Amino acid sequence: MRTMWKGAIGFGLVSVPVRLYAATQEHGTRLHQVHDEDGGRIHLKRVCDACGKEVDYEHVARGYEDEEGHTAVLTQSDLAGLPLPSKKLIDVLAFVDADRIDPVQLANSYYLAPDGPAANKPYVLLRETLKQTERVAVTKIALRTRESLALLRVHDRLMTVHTMYWPDEIRATEDLAPPDSVTVRPQELKMATSLMDTLSEDFDFEQLEDEYEVALSELIHAHLDHRPAPKKAVTRAPDNVIDLMAALQASIDTAGKKAQPGKAPAKAATESRSTKTAESNKRTTKKSMAKKATAGAGKGATAKSAAAKSATSKSAAAKSTTAKSTKKTAARKASHRAS
């Protein structure tokens, strides 16, 4: 990583030499301004309104225009001469509980690493102290030509700095919130909580995807390959909610059916499918048992009838056999007498 800033963290009489690195980077595809007719690159020139001439960057200064149209021209040397105590020092102003910092105050994030072996011990000391006390440090830092508030906190094995907006840079929220007369029922809160639980189990950020960036990449490659641009269905915005309870129930049902980005949704979907399969199996089993019972009853009646017929047949056969046997016996007796 490229070092963006070198200085020290100062708290009390302790000084910790550190280096500053950017903690984030954009993954978006970089697009250029081009001429739509021939694809030629567009170059912007710095032109002075007063004389109409193109101005080299070394002659570009900063200026401020007042309400009467007067301009104060500030050169690079003027700006460099301004007092900036935090230019090379991250000055710790106070240690506070982490929940006192509103995320809306945070701006950019940077990693802080010890600058040299001698800085390792005081660096680890400050890091472990922040970790054990579960506190963060409110500081000041100057990056480039601007001084800003900053938040110093522990992130894994490093300390990080998050630049912060000054209090007067945070806009007021007056007239933005719904009126106090708007209330919700306990049943609605319960269902909303159930929906949150369904959507929050084992959520995994690594499974998320920048769909716009993927679509942009496909569009670029389609143009480069001289083929039609891919078309994808556009997700419609939901209609205004009329029945809040019905909308919550539908959301819970949908969350249980389809896989969400992360591990839990797939599990929830599997459990939902398993539950439905089990219910279906139960219904099938009941129907099967009913059919078997009916078939069994029918077979039982048929078996009884067959048994009765068989018994009658056997009885008739027995009578026939007895009659034949009697005839044979009588014939033998008659033959014996004749002889």
What number is the average pLDDT over the span 160-183? 94
Domain span including residue 215: 186-268
Answer yes or no: do 190 and 163 share one domain. no
Is there a contact between 263 and 202 (Cβ–Cβ < 8 Å)? yes
Residue 301 lies in a domain: no
112 and 258 within one domain: no
> pLDDT for 56-110, tens place per residue?
999 999 999 999 999 999 998 898 888 887 788 999 999 999 999 999 999 999 9
Mean pLDDT for 284-289 is: 43
Q: Are residues 199 and 247 in the same domain?
A: yes
CB atoms within 10 A of CB 255: 20
| Pair (105, 16) in one structural domain | yes
Domain boundary among 268, 293, 326: 268
Q: What is the CATH number of the domain that holds 155?
A: 2.40.290.10
Higher-confidence residue: 307 or 257?
A: 257
Pairwise CA distance, residues 211 & 259, whole Å: 16
Structurally, the chain folds into a number of domains equal to 2
Q: Are 18 and 104 contained in the same domain?
A: yes
Tokens, residue 23: 């903690």
The pLDDT value given to residue 301: 40
pLDDT at 114 over 50: yes
Most confident of 30-39, 225-234, 256-265: 30-39
Q: What is the pLDDT of residue 271?
A: 43
Q: In this structure, are 193 and 239 located in the same domain?
A: yes
| Residues whose CB falls within 8 Å of the CB of residue 268, separated by 6 or more in sequence, listed in order | 198, 201, 255, 256, 260
The span from the CA of 193 to the CA of 242, in Å, is 19
The two tokens of residue 93 are 């102003």
Residue at which a domain ends, from 268, 292, 322: 268
* Residue 161 shares a structural domain with residue 242: no
96 and 153 share one domain: yes
Domain check: are 104 and 246 in the same one?
no
pLDDT at residue number 71? 94
In a domain, 180, yes or no: no
